[in-house]
Amino acid sequence: MTDGRPDPFEQLQARLAVLGPKALSDLESGTIVVLPSITFPVEELRKIIGIARYEERLLCLLLLLQTPGMEMVFLTSLPVDEAIVSYYLSFLDDPEDAARRLTMVTLSDDAPLSLSEKLLNRPDKLSEISGLLEGREAFLLPFNVTAAERAIAIEVGAPIYGPGPGHAYDGSKSGSRHVAREAGVPVPIGAEDLHSIPAIDGALRVLKEARPGARSAVVKINYGFSGQGNVIVDLDRFDGSVLEAPVAFCASEESWSSFVSKIERDGAIVEEMLRAEEMASPSVQMRIAPDGSVEELSTHDQILGGPDDQVYLGCRFPADPSYRPLISAAASSIGKVLSSKGVVGAFGMDFLVAPTQSGFDVFLSEINLRLGGTSHPFYVAKLVTGGTYDPSSGRLLTSQGQTCYVATDNIKSDAYRALTPPMLIEAIRSRGLAFHRGSNSGVVLHLLGALKEHGKLGVTCIAHGVEAADDLYADLVAVLDELASGHT
């Protein structure tokens, strides 16, 4: 209630009940408005090369148009090359019919702001979207949900299928630790809800005393992503103030002068940096339906890099079967807690898994109440193969057997700027690397809009085994290098 009146956003959200517990790919009709806005502070977005084109990662959702009764409105900051749209539609049985049910809406705006913030400054576009949805059963499918997405939902008159902005804290680094404890899932030793350097220093002193053998700790701002909001502290040489200790910022452009203001504004956590032979960092993707039911969507092993492997680079599916049941059980417990809080939509959580003599220790690393780097590869693999995820085995099952894949957003070389999307699409087709329905294996490209400016692209390499998927990836990079060498 607001001043005794019903909250218009909550009234909209009540309409999600018509979706029931169904997955998006099971919907038979309606209009999906894809809002791929990565709504984070501008200073965080600038850390990601080609971030303006990351909206294109969700073009994989065009494959939902395989359902004849489905319509889609896809929003972007910048125009998407028609060849890229046609590429995704080519995976469908009737691309022309799907194209008639697709409306692309672009702002043609390259300002360093999120798509949602730009959209709120464009009443003409909001009016256009409202007109497209008039008389239709529609909902917004966002990347993440903030006050900006809430405002857009109200303006266009469509509910959001995603965790509401009121749950943002539950998906922060501090909130994740609280939710994990409520679910009975361990977290690394540390402290949360820290809003100053003195508080950080105090938490580091307590950690050092509690864990005298710990070599390093990590400070994470509450709303950082992809590891770019982390700083690693050398505990052996920490003596009094973190400002004077040897540290490594995971984002090269960060320093204490920029980091302190983020700690004061958003808060942070301190955690022991767990180190062990064969330490793994898998993830689990979940969805909470409007009826409150909790569903596991997938599990992955993350591919990490940067300082002390703190930066997300890609993923492999499925997660290692030796610990997959453990992370699935932990994720289910966390999902039930979030469901009890009213969370709806898809989200992910990352874990730390350390082998022991008797098995594995599992710790929650963080909850990401949004889509993430593992979302689009799974949607791609599931939709192009027609596969069904089996949560009991953690496998994606198709008529050709199980499906595995390796995926990344981080293939990059200045030499690749000479390539164009049509050139690359044709090259992988002619060399037999393109995804083929008959074998249910091959390469699916994404992030192609970043080629020209940044020499960057992404890929999901689908096969019937992880080694075969890795081989596809190596073959793709070889083709990229060959093409680039011929155009320099």
Pairing outcome for strands 190-194 and 268-272? antiparallel
**pLDDT recorded at residue 88:** 97
- The partner residues of 403 in beta bridges, in order of sequence, read 396
Fold of 396-488: Alpha-Beta Plaits (3.30.70)
Per the model's pLDDT, the better-predicted residue between 395 and 250 turns out to be 395
**pLDDT recorded at residue 2:** 52
SS3 at position 482: helix
pLDDT per residue as tens digits for the range 146-162: 999 999 999 999 999 99
- Region 401-429 average pLDDT: 94
Q: Could you tell me the pLDDT band of residue 96, with boundaries at 50, 70 and 90?
A: very high
Q: Which two tokens stand for residue 330?
A: 């932990």
Under a CB-based contact definition with an 8 Å cutoff, are residues 426 and 453 in contact? no
- Percentage of the chain beyond pLDDT 70 is 95
pLDDT per residue as tens digits for the range 6-43: 789 999 998 887 777 666 666 778 899 999 999 887 77
- Region 273-297 average pLDDT: 89
Under a CB-based contact definition with an 8 Å cutoff, are residues 119 and 152 in contact? yes
Q: Classify residue 149 by burial, with Cβ atoms within 10 Å: 0-12, 13-18, 19+.
A: buried
- Percentage of the chain beyond pLDDT 90 is 73
Domain at 276-373: CATH code: 3.30.470.20
**pLDDT recorded at residue 4:** 67
- The partner residues of 303 in beta bridges, in order of sequence, read 314
Is the pLDDT reported for residue 488 higher than 90?
no
Q: Classify residue 320 by burial, with Cβ atoms within 10 Å: 0-12, 13-18, 19+.
A: middle
Per the model's pLDDT, the better-predicted residue between 135 and 350 turns out to be 350
pLDDT per residue as tens digits for the range 443-456: 999 999 999 999 99
Please state, in angstroms and rounded to a whole number, the distance separating the CA atoms of residues 69 and 201: 57
- Region 116-145 average pLDDT: 94
Mean pLDDT (the chain, rounded) = 91
Under a CB-based contact definition with an 8 Å cutoff, are residues 374 and 281 in contact? no
**pLDDT recorded at residue 23:** 64
Fold of 8-168: Rossmann fold (3.40.50)
Tell me how far apart the 2 most distant CA atoms of the chain are, in Å: 68
Please state, in angstroms and rounded to a whole number, the distance separating the CA atoms of residues 440 and 72: 26
**pLDDT recorded at residue 194:** 97
Strand order in the sheet with 102-106: 102-106, 70-76, 30-35, 138-142
Lowest mean pLDDT among 55-59, 68-72, 221-225, 309-313: 309-313
pLDDT per residue as tens digits for the range 352-394: 999 998 899 999 999 999 998 899 999 999 999 999 999 999 9
Place of tokens 């969805």: 287
For the chain, give every domain's residue range.
Answer: 8-168, 189-272, 276-373, 396-488
For 232: left if phi > 0, alpha if psi spans -120 to 50, otherwise beta; the answer is beta
pLDDT per residue as tens digits for the range 29-85: 889 999 999 988 777 777 677 788 999 999 999 999 999 989 999 999 999 999 999
Of 400, 414, 425, the C-alpha closest to 479 is 425
Q: Could you tell me the pLDDT band of residue 313, with boundaries at 50, 70 and 90?
A: confident
**pLDDT recorded at residue 411:** 94
pTM strictly above 0.75: yes
Under a CB-based contact definition with an 8 Å cutoff, are residues 375 and 348 in contact? yes
Fold of 189-272: Dna Ligase; domain 1 (3.30.1490)
Of 448, 444, 450, the C-alpha closest to 469 is 444
Backbone angles phi, psi at 308, to 5 degrees: 50, 35
